[in-house]
Amino acid sequence: MVIPEHTAKAFDVDLQELSRMVAEMGGLTEKQIADAVDALSRRNPEQARQIVEADLEIDALQREIEAKAVLTIARRQPMAVDLRELLSALRLCSDLERIGDLAKNIAKRVLVLDVELHSSRVIRGVQHMGTLVLAQLKQVLDSYAGRDLEKALAVWNGDEQIDAMCTSIFRELLTYMMEDPRNITPCIHLMFCAKNIERMGDHATNIAETVYYMIEGHSMPDLRPKGDTTTFGGLRPG
Amino acid sequence: MVIPEHTAKAFDVDLQELSRMVAEMGGLTEKQIADAVDALSRRNPEQARQIVEADLEIDALQREIEAKAVLTIARRQPMAVDLRELLSALRLCSDLERIGDLAKNIAKRVLVLDVELHSSRVIRGVQHMGTLVLAQLKQVLDSYAGRDLEKALAVWNGDEQIDAMCTSIFRELLTYMMEDPRNITPCIHLMFCAKNIERMGDHATNIAETVYYMIEGHSMPDLRPKGDTTTFGGLRPG
């Protein structure tokens, strides 16, 4: 089938516009992660409220990207490789939307964390997890924009470190909870926050798999490294 | 534009096949929820392992539905209402996949819950939440299959009850944790399990919104009832 030139051009314009929208959504999501971790570290309820608000923007953008991608598929009838590109945009914005939700969940906890946390060490640990996840997300969005398989694989392999850090934070929080019942409530909030960040890392890994699929034309063999033992060992200290 | 009859027929066949696949995925997901809650109640590691295994099947089915939906869009160039139908299938299978993940997460916790839980009351609470979520999922899948707006809205409104139950379970677990540090580890596992079930309810609500969109042609006005106070009050007992 020969595609008329104007169709091919229109398709390119659609793809470019979609890439722009995905990049915009990625940028907003990165900002939400950074802000959520910041709001948590400084226990800033005003910032937390802004994060909850801004999540609506990310959700709206996802809807726009979905609509645009599906309409492009219907109008331009792309073939194999281009179809993969559009499906990848759909998958990617779904993961970004979930990351945004997780950042919002952290912000909601900031709004109720009224108890003083004696341990700035744990907070630093959570901050460090946030920094790592943010770096992972930036890198995987770069790998998407640049069709860079190597970069995507680096993200895929880097998730282990975040999982390990989550496990170590869980252990530490558990110790504080055992020490003094007054620590239980704030520590549970922090556990959920750490778990949320760990889940963000999983979504960055999903995006890496999408980039792999987009470039290679088939799914990644399922060999995901699983350093996350929060479900397992993290709650068995000592 | 007049669509040739054979194209219209081929499109109907595609749509029917997609509906069948979504129904199959829905059935598998329902089974995973029921099994996960059952495995948790009876602390059955063998059953838990089967759930983790079976999740791969759900993931594979999602990939198939995605591929089929996107290919149908590209081949048949459907117009507005049909396009909505296909986009809805894509959204729906994304929510089902996440529900499956959440069931798998519960199963993983069953594998490490080696501590005796003194409170069968909490377990009954979690079981009850599971039953409610399962009913919600069944109903929303029915509303999808039957294009039943009223049923979808009932699911949407029913989520509040699950959230309230989650809050009440959190309160109870917190009390046990305060009472005896030995309860802390198992209670945290149960909190995460309850939270996973509560999240399943959110996904059922998402599906209800998708059904609304599919039938009405526009998004639901954002008026979601929010009975979930687990982020807020649930961790402030007394």
For residue B118, what pLDDT is reported? 59
pLDDT reading at A5 higher than 90: no
CB contact under 8 A, A178 and B177: no
For residue B236, what pLDDT is reported? 44
For residue A232, what pLDDT is reported? 44
pLDDT reading at B1 higher than 90: no
As a whole-number percent, the residues of chain B with pLDDT over 70 amount to 88
For residue B222, what pLDDT is reported? 65
Which residues, 6 or more positions from A61, have their beta carbon under 8 angstroms from its beta carbon? A21, A24, A25, A28, A93
Please give the C-alpha separations between residue B147 and each of A126, B152, B200, B208, in angstroms, as whole numbers.
Answer: 45, 9, 21, 11
> What are the chain A neighbours of B174 within 8 Å (beta carbons)?
184-185, 188
Picking from A172, A173, A215, the residue whose alpha carbon sits closest to that of residue A85 is A215
Mean pLDDT of A186-194: 95
Q: Place B80 in a pLDDT band, splitting at 50, 70 and 90.
A: confident
B56-70, B122-136, B219-233: lowest mean pLDDT where?
B219-233
Size of chain B, expressed as the number of residues it contains: 238
For residue B233, what pLDDT is reported? 41
- Kindly tell me the burial class for residue A175, based on how many C-beta atoms sit within 10 Å of its own C-beta (0-12, 13-18, 19 or more): middle
pLDDT reading at A212 higher than 80: yes
pLDDT reading at A222 higher than 70: no
Instruction: Using CB atoms, pick whichever of A71, A94, A185 lies closest to residue B235.
Output: A185
Best of A98, A219, A231 to substitute, by most chain B Cβ atoms within 10 angstroms, is: A231
- Of residues B106 and B43, the one with the higher pLDDT is B106
- pLDDT tens track for A119-172: 678 889 999 999 999 999 999 999 999 999 999 999 999 999 999 999 999 999
Mean pLDDT of A86-102: 96
For B78, the enclosing helix (H) or strand (E) is: none
For residue B120, what pLDDT is reported? 77
For residue B228, what pLDDT is reported? 46
> Could you give the CA distance from residue A228 to residue A130 in angstroms, rounded to a whole number?
16
pLDDT reading at A116 higher than 80: no
A21-25, A115-119, B52-56, B67-71: lowest mean pLDDT where?
A115-119
For residue A238, what pLDDT is reported? 28
Best of A180, A235, A236 to substitute, by most chain B Cβ atoms within 10 angstroms, is: A235
| Residue in chain A nearest B190 by alpha carbon | A231
For residue A117, what pLDDT is reported? 63
Mean pLDDT of B8-24: 92
Please give the C-alpha separations between residue A83 and each of A86, A206, B6, B36, B91, in angstroms, as whole numbers.
Answer: 5, 19, 23, 36, 18
Longest alpha-carbon distance in chain B: 73
Q: Which of residues 11-40 of A touch B (CB under 8 A)?
A: none
ipTM of the complex: 0.88
B1-5, B46-50, B151-155: lowest mean pLDDT where?
B1-5
| A18 min Cα distance to partner chain B (Å) | 16
pTM (two decimals): 0.90
- pLDDT tens track for B139-150: 999 999 999 999
CB contact under 8 A, B185 and A112: no
**Coil, helix or strand for A60?**
helix
pLDDT reading at A230 higher than 60: no
> Looking at residue B237, what DSSP letter applies?
-
